[in-house]
Structure 1
Amino acid sequence: MPQMAPLWWELLFLVFLMTYLIVNNMIYFMPKTSIKPSNHKNKTYNQINWKW
């Protein structure tokens, strides 16, 4: 008969997996906050005239 891990190891592992999955689901389904880039950076980037 193969050796078995103690029950509390299995319970600890299952609790870890459940918390990991729950936290990942919460992070995935959080409302996404859109970060608007500042207009200054866009203007300076778009005003560059490249001369090759």
Structure 2
Amino acid sequence: MDEERLHDLALYIEPEVGRLWVYSTGEDAALAFTRDCIERLRELIAEEKR
């Protein structure tokens, strides 16, 4: 799975599950995940592989 597809899957996860945006002092931002969100992302990857 490439990075772009992983990013797309991550955007399907609701913030309530633990998807976060981390901002720097500039305009840069990065996705961050709680443990619950990482587990949900693993489930989505497994579902997509089926």
Q: After TM superposition, is the score higher than 0.5?
A: no
Give the number of the structure with larger relative contact order, counting CA–CA contacts within 8 Å between residues 6 or more apart. 2
Higher-strand-fraction structure: 2
TM-score (norm 1): 0.32
